[in-house]
Amino acid sequence: GEDVEQSLFLSVREGDSSVINCTYTDSSSTYLYWYKQEPGAGLQLLTYIFSNMDMKQDQRLTVLLNKKDKHLSLRIADTQTGDSAIYFCAVAWNKLIFGAGTRLAVHP
């Protein structure tokens, strides 16, 4: 079946860039998503990319998609303490398949 993998933890200094990586197995995915979950809350859509795109930029967020390697990344520029959360990669075919989530910790 489909599988989505992410590293579980990332720690960065405030003001640095964060890069969260994701690999997936289903090459027929049409949409790929990044969700953010803050403590005690549900998931909130952060950004997404269509499978026919290589890159998408949205303010401080940059999504890169390498379809050949089935690799998706999310770059957060100028990371702030408010960016501390769990970030989930999700790929969509007929349903959404989620990775385990990457906990981003931002320290001064």
Partner 1 sequence: DVKVTQSSRYLVKRTGEKVFLECVQDMDHENMFWYRQDPGLGLRLIYFSYDVKMKEKGDIPEGYSVSREKKERFSLILESASTNQTSMYLCASSLQGATEAFFGQGTRLTVV
Closest distance of CB 68 from partner 1, Å: 21
Kindly tell me which of 44 and 81 has the beta carbon lying closer to partner 1.
44
Triad 86, 84, 8: Cα angle to 5°: 40
Kindly tell me which of 6 and 79 has the beta carbon lying closer to partner 1.
6
68 lines the binding site for partner 1 (CB under 8 A)? no
Kindly tell me which of 77 and 93 has the beta carbon lying closer to partner 1.
93
Classify 101 in phi/psi space as left (phi over 0), alpha (psi -120 to 50) or beta: left
> Residue 8 carries which DSSP code?
S
92 lines the binding site for partner 1 (CB under 8 A)? yes
> Residue 95 carries which DSSP code?
S
